């Protein structure tokens, strides 16, 4: 059974539709991420699950029960928001205990549960401190402890790491994932950060303009994007106009640039037949080389344009015939320079194809 179900959900604010008819199943104990650009409706969906917003149409089910008319405090959910501030005049322990206040839990039990929650977020000794005496990352851990102390059926997290600096953010995502796995709580996580989504999720729900574009495991949405939007949002892709000439084997002809590309059928699930198609070439699968490629690898000549250093990798903008392409390659001892003539290597099995 799904822990959370959105059934034909629509959300309108006045005449503006923030969420178009959406149906979504969140499996029990899964870590599911709503991923998409600003304004695509992630928070709106989360707030409807939480009971902070009423859907205009449709039903929300938690553990199989319709909750449209169940108020927030009766839904047994844990919430952490980007700036869900702790109560500044309460101690950390009082903050964590707050969620238990309206529950039938004795004082002694509360102390034990607060201790367990602080242990879980690895801050066992800060119970007597006040929030302002903690770092941003520590405060977010306390917010998480407050959300999980009630043993929620579902944990709802809206960009909980976005206020943290880059290094801390990476540590916290490992930590958050560890805690989620440890307690096995169904989690709906909202982010617009694709690397966060790829690293943490069992399932990613890619959203655009109030619609679900694709639902899949991280490697699925990454390797087999269902749309041009998904291909571009998860990493950088080159998308080339092409022609499918042999459906079933999904052989795609992109005459101008790469010629005949035998895309595996599994990487083109939405191609329904021969005819117009789009070839998706991920920037990190396009390799610049000094020599032509070995047998079985496509090789085309190109000229390097802009070179953009990114630390461990370089982003090259190259011209191959009429096409402007981007390639992201790991840095080797001698990176390529602007103006240099190179060979672009591409393995057909690394490509995906979309309907044209």
Ligand X SMILES: Nc1ncnc2c1ncn2[C@@H]1O[C@H](COP(=O)(O)OP(=O)(O)OP(=O)(O)O)[C@@H](O)[C@H]1O
- Please give the residue ranges that form the binding site for ligand X (CB under 6 A): 13, 16, 18, 36, 38-44, 192
Which phi and psi angles does 143 have, rounded to 5°?
-60, -35
> Which of Mg ion, ligand X, none does residue 13 bind (CB under 5 to 8 Å by kind)?
ligand X
What are the beta bridge partners of residue 316? 307, 327
> Which of ligand X, Mg ion, none does residue 160 bind (CB under 5 to 8 Å by kind)?
none
> Which of ligand X, Mg ion, none does residue 224 bind (CB under 5 to 8 Å by kind)?
none
What are the beta bridge partners of residue 79? 156
CB of 35 to ligand X, least distance (A): 10
- Counted residue by residue, the chain has a size of 356
CB of 355 to ligand X, least distance (A): 26
CB of 246 to Mg ion, least distance (A): 44
The Cα 289–Cα 187 span in angstroms is 43
Would you say 158 or 254 has its CB closer to ligand X?
158
> Which of Mg ion, ligand X, none does residue 78 bind (CB under 5 to 8 Å by kind)?
none
Run of H or E including 216: strand 211-216
Burial 35-59 (b: 16+ CB within 10 A, else e): bbeeebbbbbbbbbbbbebebeebe
Q: Are strands 154-158 and 77-81 parallel, antiparallel or unpaired?
A: parallel
CB of 55 to ligand X, least distance (A): 13
Would you say 41 or 348 has its CB closer to ligand X?
41
Would you say 162 or 274 has its CB closer to Mg ion?
162
User: DSSP assignment of 89-157, as one string?
Assistant: TS-HHHHHHGGGTTSS--HHHHHHHHHHHHHHTT-TT-TTS-GGGS-HHHHHHHHHHHHHTT--SEEEE
Kindly determine how many residues on this chain lie close enough to bind Mg ion according to the rule CB under 5 A. Answer: 1
CB of 143 to ligand X, least distance (A): 17
User: DSSP assignment of 36-88, as one string?
Assistant: -STTSSHHHHHHHHHTSS--SEEEEEETTEE-TTS-GGGS-EEEEETT-PPPT
> Which of ligand X, Mg ion, none does residue 15 bind (CB under 5 to 8 Å by kind)?
none
> Which of Mg ion, ligand X, none does residue 102 bind (CB under 5 to 8 Å by kind)?
none
**Closest residue to Mg ion, based on beta-carbon distance:** 43
Q: Give, to the nearest 10 degrees, the angle between helix 136-148 and helix 107-120.
A: 130
Question: Using alpha carbons only, what angle is made at residue 13 by residues 232 and 162, rounded to the nearest 5 degrees?
Answer: 45
> Which of Mg ion, ligand X, none does residue 327 bind (CB under 5 to 8 Å by kind)?
none
Would you say 34 or 277 has its CB closer to ligand X?
34
- Residue 171 CA, distance from chain mean position: 17
Would you say 41 or 55 has its CB closer to ligand X?
41
Would you say 41 or 131 has its CB closer to Mg ion?
41
> Which of ligand X, Mg ion, none does residue 140 bind (CB under 5 to 8 Å by kind)?
none
Would you say 20 or 347 has its CB closer to ligand X?
20
CB of 42 to Mg ion, least distance (A): 5
> What order do you get walking across the sheet with 251-254 strand by strand?
259-262, 251-254, 237-246, 275-282, 352-355
CB of 91 to ligand X, least distance (A): 31
Subset of 24-43 contacting Mg ion (CB under 5 A): 43
CB of 233 to ligand X, least distance (A): 12
- Contact set with Mg ion (CB under 5 A): 43
């Amino acid at each position: 059974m799904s822990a959370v179900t959105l059934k034909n959900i629509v959300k309108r604010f006045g005449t503006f539709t923030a969420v178009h008819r959406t149906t979504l199943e969140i499996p029990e104990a899964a870590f599911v991420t709503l991923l998409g650009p600003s304004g695509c409706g992630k928070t709106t969906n989360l707030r409807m699950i939480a009971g902070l917003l009423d859907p205009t149409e449709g039903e929300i089910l938690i553990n199989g029960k319709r909750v449209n008319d169940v108020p927030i405090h009766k839904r047994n959910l844990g919430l952490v928001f980007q700036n869900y501030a702790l109560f500044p005049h309460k101690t950390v322990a009082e903050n964590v205990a707050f969620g238990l206040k309206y529950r039938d839990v004795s004082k002694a039990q509360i102390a034990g549960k607060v201790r367990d929650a602080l242990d879980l977020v690895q801050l066992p000794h800060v119970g007597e401190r006040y929030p302002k005496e903690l770092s941003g990352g520590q405060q977010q851990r306390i917010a998480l402890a407050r959300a999980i102390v009630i043993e929620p059926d579902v944990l709802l997290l809206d960009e909980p790491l976005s206020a943290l600096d880059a290094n801390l953010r990476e540590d916290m995502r490992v930590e958050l994932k560890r805690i989620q796995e440890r307690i096995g709580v169904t989690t709906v996580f909202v982010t617009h950060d694709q690397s966060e989504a790829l690293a943490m999720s069992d399932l990613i729900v890619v959203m655009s303009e109030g619609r679900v574009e694709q639902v899949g495991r991280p490697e699925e949405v990454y390797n087999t994007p269902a749309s041009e939007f998904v291909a571009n949002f998860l990493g950088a892709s080159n998308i080339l106009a092409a022609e499918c000439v042999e459906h079933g084997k999904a052989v795609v002809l992109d005459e101008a640039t790469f010629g005949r590309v035998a895309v595996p059928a599994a990487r083109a699930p939405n191609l329904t037949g021969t005819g117009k198609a789009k070839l998706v070439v991920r920037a990190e699968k396009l390799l610049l080389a000094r020599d032509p490629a070995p047998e079985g690898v496509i090789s085309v000549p190109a000229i390097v344009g802009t070179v953009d250093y990114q630390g461990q990798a370089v982003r090259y903008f190259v011209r191959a015939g009429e096409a402007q392409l981007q390639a992201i390659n790991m840095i080797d001892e001698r990176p390529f320079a602007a103006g240099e003539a190179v060979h672009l290597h591409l393995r057909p099995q690394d490509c995906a194809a979309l309907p044209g």
